[in-house]
Amino acid sequence: MANWHLDELEKSLNAIGWEIVDRLEGNNYDISGSWNIQRKTKHRIDFNGLDDLITLPLEKSYGCYITEPSISLYFHKKGPTWKNALAEFIHKVNELD
């Protein structure tokens, strides 16, 4: 969607003690990029980038997820739906360690 999704996600992760330790390239298919995050343990957030003919760049990805355990976030438009979805995602990430 936009860089502001990434900025808000990063700020929210930092607020609960998670650090982005690696920013990785995508796979040229369905992942725009990945962040390795760490507090006590390390987890990877993959950003959805599957499009018809190309892999979207990270700032145009439309969501992200952690595979194990399954936690996902869709990048909504600004507003209460986005704020609630982000808060729920962050709450689940906070429970990982």
pLDDT digits 0-9 by tens, 37-90 = 999 999 999 999 999 889 999 999 999 999 999 999 999 999 999 999 999 999
Mean pLDDT, residues 24-28 taken together = 95
46, amino acid identity = D
How far is Cα 6 from Cα 8, in angstroms, rounded to an integer?
6
97 band by pLDDT with thresholds 50, 70 and 90: confident
Q: Is 5 exposed, middle or buried (0-12, 13-18, 19+ CB in 10 A)?
A: buried
1 has pLDDT over 60? no
Total H helices, total E strands in the chain: 2, 5
Name the residue range of residue 31's domain: 3-94
**Domain CATH code at residue 84:** 3.30.310
User: What is the number of domains present in the chain?
Assistant: 1
